[in-house]
Homo-oligomer: A and B are copies of this chain.
Amino acid sequence: MKFKSVGKDIRVSKPDPRFARLLLEQFGGANGELKAAMQYFTQAFSCKQPYPDKYDLLMDISIEEFSHLEIVGATIQMLLSGVSGDLKASADESEIMQTMNGKAAKESFMHEAMFNPQFAVLSGGGPTLTDSNGNPWTAAYVTANGDLTVDLRSNIAAESRAKIVYEYLMSFTDDPYVKETLRFLMTREVAHYQQFEAALNSIQPNFPPGVLQSDPRYSNLYFNMSDGVEIKGAWNEGQSTQLREEWQYVAEPLEKVKKSNGLTECEPEGTERTEKEVLQADKALAKERSEEIKQATPLKAIQWSTYGE
Contacts and interface: CB of A to CB of B under 8 A. Distances in A.
A197 interface: yes
A63 B146 CA distance: 26
Interface in A115-133: 115-118, 120-133
Given A140-B30, A241-B201, A66 B153 contact: no
Contacts of A135: 133-136, 140
A59 interface: yes
Contacts of A215: 183-184, 186-187
A251 to B, nearest CB: 11
A88 to B, nearest CB: 4
Interface string A170-209: 1110100000000110111011011111110110000011
A1 to B, nearest CB: 5
11 contacts: A2-B227, A43-B126, A56-B229, A60-B226, A84-B293, A122-B165, A136-B140, A187-B219, A190-B243, A195-B235, A201-B234
A305 B7 contact: yes
A249 to B, nearest CB: 11
Contacts of A202: 233-235
A146 B123 contact: yes
A202 to B, nearest CB: 5
A299 B117 contact: no
A196 to B, nearest CB: 7
Nearest to A232: B53
Nearest to A137: B139
Interface string A127-162: 111111111111111111111011001101110110
Contacts of A6: 223, 225, 253-254, 257
Contacts of A41: 69-70, 73
B28 A106 contact: no
A253 B49 CA distance: 24
Given A82-B299, A89-B286, 19 more contacts: A1-B1, A2-B227, A2-B254, A4-B227, A8-B264, A9-B263, A11-B303, A53-B233, A56-B229, A63-B226, A81-B297, A88-B211, A90-B170, A97-B174, A136-B138, A186-B212, A190-B214, A191-B240, A196-B235
Given A38-B129, A132-B117, A160-B154, A5 B194 contact: no
